Amino acid sequence: MNIILTSALSGIIFMFSGFVLKDKRHQSILATILFIVMIASAAFQLQGYGIMLDKYPNMIETDPYRIAFFVILCLVGIYYTLVNRYNFSKPGSKVSDYFALIFISFTGIAVLASFNNLILMFLGIEILSIPLYALAGSAKHKMKSTEAAVKYFLMGAFSTGIMLMGITLIYGASGSFMLKNITAYAFDFQTIYYLGWVMLILSLCFKVSVAPMHFWAPDVYDGTPTVFSSYMITIVKGAGFMTFLTVLASFKITSQIVADNYRFLLSFIIILTLILGNFSALKQTSVKRMLAYSSVVQAGFMMFALFEISEESKYALLYYTVSYGLASVVLFYVLTRVKKVTYKGFNGLSERSPLLAFSSVVALLSLAGIPFTSGFLAKFFILSSAMKEPSNLILVIAALVLAVLSVYYYIKVIIAMYFRKSTNKKKIKLSFTTQILLILGTVLTVALGVYPDLLKMMLNCLNSH
Amino acid sequence: MLLSLLILLPLIAGAGLTFIKHNRSLGFVGTAVSIYCLVYTLFLLFTNTPVDLTVAYPWFKLGDTQANIALSLTGLGAAMVLLTTLVYTLLFAYFYTIKKNYKNSFYGLLLIAFGGLNGVFLAQDLVLFYFFWEIVLIPIYFLIGIWGSGKTKIAANTTFFLYTILGSMLMLGGIIYIGFYLRPTSFLLTDVVKVTSSFGNLQTLAWLFLIAFAIKIPLFPLHSWQPAVYKTSSTPVTVILSALMAKMGLFAVVNWLLNMFPSICPNTDNLLYIVGFGLFYASLIALTTKNVKKIVAYSSIAHLALIFMSLYAQSEMGTKGAYFQMFSHGIVVLGLWLSVDYMQRKYKLTDIKSISGIASIDPCIAIFFTFFGLANVALPLTSSFIGEFMMLNALYTYNPILCVIGCTGVILSAAYTLRLSTALLFGERSGSVSKKKQKFPKTLYLIFGVISVIILVLGIYPSVLFNLFQN
């Protein structure tokens, strides 16, 4: 309950902070402080100092893995807030409102980190999504932003409907909303039960933007002001996968037929996502849109964690979220600093700002999965967690071969930055703090890529008594 | 710790040169680091230091399989490290002499590749090996992209990168399969070999690795990236690519593929016929193509194909010959590229018709170039002769047809090498070759002399190297 309370309180604080804090940068500092408070409250909850935990045993629980996930998302949130501290005023002047929306959506994440009941999961997903619809449309004077908001909202509402239907069917077959009770069902309701699961999976696919429910993603990520699409792509996606994993972990595979069908469904989703995402990303001329499609592809990779849910795959998903989050925050920050978000806009960036160019190279290599960056180990971990059956090798190889395509559109950015000359020779000025933050992100990406136990050590610190 | 120095020192120096801004040219740092590494390697190899040349630290654990930081300086790996440090020393010395001032980041990236190469040759852990295998690629990619020349630079570079990444991804699939389905206790070579030898049917897996290595060498159907890249990249990069990175592929075949999967497919001969065809085909192209860099590139493809064939000839002589030739080819090709580079700078050499008659005004480079050419043809008394003789001998006992293909390659190599040197060195003076006698820089005598001496010494007294393999 701690994390839900603190994140909700943070949202409320920000609603009124606009009256007190006139300087926009102070809002980011406040946000950082509140993130730290949230992390601290999560740590307290893990240590057993939870508030009102026993009041709602049928609704929430303290799951160390998900709390750790929440903390990681908060840390990515801190990095995101600090790196983007000047960018929040770009879409409009209501910085405190934006932060309020972000923290309210974090309340949703906190709910998702604690639910043990499908109703609460639904609630969490809605609390997470509704502020995002508003954030997507925050650049009110821009058509694309409005379009993104409307599209996101309509598609979101649509998927919510499917999700509710799925939950209803599962409830009908099993007689419970509790995660631990929905594993069993009345035998006569077998069809309804599995239909419910398929609907639930599909609607969650929508939330994490994997095919066949990914069509909204490129338009929304592209239309949303860059600073907020960065948030959606990293933190919200991570939270979505955390939910997905938790829900699917309570899906018990009882027979070979169920196992085959489950694997078939997931392989179908993965392969379709990777093919559609990669081939669409190849043709883009805008880097932002390419990154939007690439986020679909990365989600396809993250789906591998759901293939054989185990301790390893859980850790792999966490690792992937961190690695992907770091790389994306950096890249989206770079997007805000170039005039045009097309490949041409990146021409000659290495001369205009060596640091920006270099940190985006590391981020791109991390997304592409090249060793010595965390992205490689993330891919390695997540693919290997799915490698329990020899027949899965084909799926793994297919994913890796498709990843070669993604390398192509990532290095197109590198080519533009380093091998092409720009007409615009004006240097891009970075403040000292930003430089430090970019270097920190790069160093972290490389450090996690060389010494992956770093993350484990950090999580152990959180858990130890 | 002793061995990781060979990797860390170039990596750190390289990163420093690349990222820290300096107005002065700091190329000498590269020279110093490579000389230090050379001396250090020689010291480790030839004084019987009482240190164990194998180290292993636990790195990270996933599932039940432990990845280790395991390095070892033994056998072929030792010879390859020696080759790497030697080639780098001579390369840096050459560029120090001709005083072409590249940016510091150029030297830095070269040094990062240096560290990666040493890592590939030292690593005894599959995951660690993969790390270094990939890290070599990144600096080379930037070196070609930024300092390459020609209109097709970016296209060639992209092809090269994607090709190699494709290979690496397939290999990664193989590693994941080994680590998480076969489940060895660790990714150490010895542990991996234990599980792969106890499982019977692993041919798909072997192919995944073979394709990755074949792209890097490059072997026949997967070679198409190579000539374009050699043509567009600047000479230091070409040297690294042909003298060292191609050896990475062959070394990986020896150290990993042959150990993990002694037989790739039931009928290895068919595979070798394809490779042999590639040898023949590359030699023919070398005979007809005009661009000098491309000729050397195709000649390289042919020579490496022969080495690959004899590795599978299943005889000790073939293997030894192949090892020897791997070292020797690195040195010979270094000499060839450097002399081509010298002529390119001085006489604007591009293709075979662009200049002629150098011998009359610059006899020194003519002599050296001819010498390296003859070494490339495997004339007796040069190091290549020993290697090629042993390989062909082994191939003959294994399968005479393959031996015939190999011999044809040798004959064709004589043809195209002589065609090249005749066209450039003799005949009427033309192109930018003026009447005036040209001075040959004194230090270049030293560098080309050292390369020639190595070639001769190995040709006359090959046991130096054979002893090293046995270590």
Q: If we measure between CA atoms, which residue out of B51, B39, B24, B144 comes closest to residue B88?
A: B39
Predicted confidence at residue A361, as pLDDT, reads 92
φ, ψ dihedrals at B260, nearest 5°: -75, -45
d(CA B27, CA B32): 9
What mean pLDDT is predicted for residues A244-264?
88
Predicted confidence at residue A327, as pLDDT, reads 93
**A24 Cα to chain B: minimum distance (Å):** 34
pLDDT band at A214 (very low <50, low <70, confident <90, very high): confident
Residue A425 lies in a domain: yes
Nearest to A371 among B135, B177, B204 (CB): B135
In sequence order, which residues have a C-beta less than 8 Å from that of residue A82 and are 6 or more positions away?
A28, A32, A433, A437
Q: Do A388 and B180 touch (CB under 8 A)?
A: yes
Predicted confidence at residue A440, as pLDDT, reads 93
CB contact, 8 Å: A171 with chain B? no
* Cβ–Cβ under 8 Å, residues B414 and B287: no
Residue with tokens 């040209």: B438
Residue B199 to residues A386, B66, B174, B203, Cα–Cα distance (Å): 21, 20, 14, 11
* Sign of CA pseudo-dihedral A108, A112, A113, A116: positive
d(CA A372, CA A362): 9
* Cβ–Cβ under 8 Å, residues A428 and B216: no
Q: Which residues are paired to B69 by β-bridges?
A: B57
Q: What is the pLDDT along chain B (471 residues), one digit of tens a residue?
A: 678 888 888 888 888 888 877 777 777 888 888 888 888 888 887 776 545 566 778 888 877 788 888 888 878 888 899 899 999 998 888 887 776 667 788 888 889 999 999 999 988 899 999 999 999 999 999 988 888 887 888 888 899 999 999 999 999 999 988 888 888 888 888 888 888 887 767 778 888 898 999 998 888 888 888 888 888 888 888 888 888 888 899 999 888 888 888 776 667 788 888 888 989 998 998 888 888 888 888 888 888 999 998 888 878 888 888 999 999 999 999 998 888 888 888 877 777 777 777 788 888 888 888 899 889 888 888 888 888 888 988 988 888 888 899 899 889 999 988 888 888 888 777 766 677 777 778 888 888 899 999 999 988 888 888 877 776
Task: Determine the residue of chain A that is closest to B142 in CA distance.
Answer: A418
* Cβ–Cβ under 8 Å, residues B179 and A384: yes
Angle ∠(B21,B104,A417) on CA atoms, nearest 5: 75
pTM (global) more than 0.90:
yes
Predicted confidence at residue B222, as pLDDT, reads 86
Angle ∠(A112,A118,A124) on CA atoms, nearest 5: 30
At residue B61, the 3 state secondary structure works out as strand
Q: Do A451 and B153 touch (CB under 8 A)?
A: no
d(CA B463, CA A210): 61
What mean pLDDT is predicted for residues A334-349?
86
d(CA B233, CA B153): 8
d(CA B133, CA B248): 8
d(CA B383, CA B333): 12
In sequence order, which residues have a C-beta less than 8 Å from that of residue A133 and are 6 or more positions away?
A149, A152, A153, A156
At residue B295, the 3 state secondary structure works out as helix
DSSP code for B26 = -
**String of b and e for A190-216 (b: at least 16 CB within 10 Å)?**
eebbbbbbebbbbbbbbbbbbbebbeb
d(CA A348, CA B418): 44
d(CA A68, CA B58): 26
Strand B65-72 and strand B54-62: pairing?
antiparallel
Amino acid letter, A452: P
Q: Do A418 and B146 touch (CB under 8 A)?
A: yes
* Cβ–Cβ under 8 Å, residues A139 and A227: no
Task: Considering only residues B370 and A424, tell me which one the structure prediction assigns the higher pLDDT.
Answer: B370
Q: If we measure between CA atoms, which residue out of B130, B129, B132 comes closest to residue B172?
A: B130
d(CA A349, CA A344): 10
Angle ∠(B222,B226,B230) on CA atoms, nearest 5: 175
CB contact, 8 Å: B446 with chain A? no
Residue A336 to residues A76, A226, A330, B145, Cα–Cα distance (Å): 18, 7, 10, 26
Query: Over 60: is that where the pLDDT of A156 sits?
Result: yes
What is the four-CA torsion angle of A194, A196, A198, A201, rounded to 10 degrees? -130
At residue B314, the 3 state secondary structure works out as coil
Residue A16 lies in a domain: no
Residue A363 lies in a domain: yes
Nearest to B142 among A379, A418, A451 (CB): A418
* Cβ–Cβ under 8 Å, residues B399 and B393: no
Q: If we measure between CA atoms, which residue out of B75, B98, B91, B80 comes closest to residue B33?
A: B91
**What is the count of structural domains for chain A?**
1
d(CA B383, CA B323): 12
Predicted confidence at residue A167, as pLDDT, reads 93
Dmax over CA atoms of chain B, in Å, equals 72
Cα-to-chain-centroid distance, residue B212: 16
Predicted confidence at residue B266, as pLDDT, reads 66
Query: Over 90: is that where the pLDDT of A153 sits?
Result: yes
Question: Quick one: tokens of A197?
Answer: 């699961």
What is the number of other CB atoms lying within 10 angstroms of the CB of residue A119?
A: 14
d(CA B353, CA B366): 16
Q: Which residues are paired to A117 by β-bridges?
A: A178
Q: What are the pLDDT digits (tens) for A266-300?
A: 999 999 999 999 999 988 899 999 999 999 999 99
All residues of chain A having their beta carbon less than 8 Å from the beta carbon of residue B62 are 312, 380-381, 384
CB contact, 8 Å: A436 with chain B? no
Predicted confidence at residue A168, as pLDDT, reads 93
d(CA B183, CA B181): 5
Residue A452 lies in a domain: yes
**String of b and e for B148-169 (b: at least 16 CB within 10 Å)?**
beeeebbebbbbbbbbbbbbbb
Q: Do A397 and B146 touch (CB under 8 A)?
A: no
CB contact, 8 Å: B145 with chain A? yes
**String of b and e for B108-130 (b: at least 16 CB within 10 Å)?**
bbbbbbbbbbbbbbbbbbbbbbb
d(CA B433, CA B361): 8
Residue with tokens 């903390």: A71
Question: Quick one: tokens of B9?
Answer: 């020192």
Q: If we measure between CA atoms, which residue out of B237, B17, B241, B244 comes closest to residue B143?
A: B237
Residues 155-214 of B with CB under 8 A from A: 157-158, 161-162, 165-166, 169-170, 172-173, 176-177, 179-181, 204, 208
CB contact, 8 Å: A452 with chain B? yes
Residues 394-423 of A with CB under 8 A from B: 396-397, 400-401, 403-404, 407-408, 411, 414-415, 418-419
Predicted confidence at residue B132, as pLDDT, reads 92
Q: What burial class does residue B467 get, using C-beta atoms within 10 Å of its C-beta: 0-12 exposed, 13-18 middle, 19+ buried?
A: exposed
Residues 348-367 of A with CB under 8 A from B: 358, 365
What is the number of other CB atoms lying within 10 angstroms of the CB of residue B374?
A: 21
In sequence order, which residues have a C-beta less than 8 Å from that of residue A420 and are 6 or more positions away?
A347, A348
Predicted confidence at residue B264, as pLDDT, reads 65
* Sign of CA pseudo-dihedral A172, A174, A180, A183: negative
CB contact, 8 Å: A308 with chain B? no
Predicted confidence at residue A410, as pLDDT, reads 92
Residue A345 lies in a domain: yes
What mean pLDDT is predicted for residues A1-18?
88
What is the number of other CB atoms lying within 10 angstroms of the CB of residue A140?
A: 11
**String of b and e for B22-48 (b: at least 16 CB within 10 Å)?**
eeeebbebbbebbebbbebbeebbeee
d(CA B376, CA B410): 9
Residues 375-434 of B with CB under 8 A from A: none
* Sign of CA pseudo-dihedral A326, A331, A333, A334: positive
* Cβ–Cβ under 8 Å, residues B111 and B163: no
What mean pLDDT is predicted for residues A371-394?
88
What is the number of other CB atoms lying within 10 angstroms of the CB of residue A162?
A: 19
Residue A408 lies in a domain: yes
Predicted confidence at residue A341, as pLDDT, reads 84
Q: Do A397 and B181 touch (CB under 8 A)?
A: no
Question: Quick one: tokens of B242?
Answer: 């042909």
Q: Which residues are paired to A178 by β-bridges?
A: A117
pLDDT band at A204 (very low <50, low <70, confident <90, very high): very high
φ, ψ dihedrals at B430, nearest 5°: -150, 175
CB contact, 8 Å: A370 with chain B? yes
Q: Which residues are paired to B65 by β-bridges?
A: B62
* Domain range for A326: 315-465
Residue A28 lies in a domain: no
Predicted confidence at residue A439, as pLDDT, reads 93
> What percent of chain A has pLDDT above 70?
100
**A414 Cα to chain B: minimum distance (Å):** 9
Residue with tokens 């020639």: B452
